[in-house]
Amino acid sequence: MKVLGIYGSPRKCGNSDILLDEALKGAESAGADVSTVYCSDVTVSGCLECGGCDETGECVVDDDMQSIYPKLVEADVIFLSTPIFFYGPTAQAKAVIDRSQALWCRRMLEKKPEDHKKYASGRGYLIAVGATKGANLFEGIQLVAKYFYDALDMSYEGGLFVRSVEKKGDINNFPEYLKQAFDLGVTAVSSGRRADRD
């Protein structure tokens, strides 16, 4: 099973990174083949809405996103991690998400209309960390994640959401969240294996 971890934070080794590290360790412990994308290390422009992918399902913009597309397509499970910026993902993560429009176009081109609501490519999970306590803190990012995974022909399976953690590395003071992240990685892989058998 192939698992992809997308690190959305511009701050290396921050709280969302640490949680994703743990989730990927859990996935590896369950036997998954893990790969990663660090959004802050790649050059990905925003979607130009040029229509270049409408008829082919392939993006015409030549940048680092071209090396990310195969990872998105090949993964059975994808973890997206991000801190909350203005109730959404970081700009770096959002660029990758927006450029997945090409894969949505490909999905619409390849699947029959009656199969558009059926997900055939795997499952997606979200890890999000916010500094505030707002009741609606994760509503925006979950909608973004749901439709990101929809574009990838994946179901959105929820994830791990942590409030009131801001300073770099503070998540290490909450071992219960680290364990939850590790367990999420294990569960994502084992759930996928059960689904394959059904």
DSSP states of 44-63 as a string?
-PPP---STTTTTS-----S
Distance CA 70, CA 4 (A): 11
- Bridge-based pairing of strands 33-38 and 2-7 is parallel
Using the 8-state DSSP alphabet, how is residue 154 labeled?
Answer: -
Q: Backbone dihedral region of 196: left (phi > 0), alpha (psi from -120 to 50 degrees) or beta?
A: alpha
Distance CA 20, CA 172 (A): 13
Token representation of residue 115 = 């199969």
Q: Are 181 and 20 in contact (CB under 8 A)?
A: yes
115: confidence class by pLDDT, cuts 50, 70, 90: confident
Q: Which pLDDT score, from 0 to 100, does residue 154 have?
A: 96
In the beta sheet, which residues pair with residue 37?
A: 6
Q: Which pLDDT score, from 0 to 100, does residue 113 have?
A: 83
Spell out the CATH class of 2-197. alpha beta
Q: Is the pLDDT confidence value at 195 over 60?
A: no
Q: Mean pLDDT score of the chain, rounded to an integer? A: 94
Q: Is the pLDDT confidence value at 108 over 60?
A: yes
Give backbone dihedrals phi and psi of 137, rounded to 5 degrees, phi first: -55, -35
Q: Is the pLDDT confidence value at 142 over 80?
A: yes
Rounded to two decimals, the pTM is: 0.94
Distance CA 10, CA 105 (A): 28
Q: Which pLDDT score, from 0 to 100, does residue 117 have?
A: 77
Q: Which pLDDT score, from 0 to 100, does residue 193 have?
A: 63
Q: Is the pLDDT confidence value at 62 over 90?
A: yes
Q: Which pLDDT score, from 0 to 100, does residue 197 have?
A: 47
Domain limits, the chain: 2-197
Averaged pLDDT for residues 14-26:
98
Using the 8-state DSSP alphabet, how is residue 138 labeled?
Answer: T
**Percentage of the chain modeled with pLDDT above 70:** 96
Quote the crossing angle between the two packed helices 91-98 and 139-151, to the nearest 10°: 30
Helix (H), strand (E) at residue 162: strand 155-162
Q: Model confidence over 177-190: pLDDT tens digits?
A: 999 999 999 999 99
Distance CA 137, CA 162 (A): 10
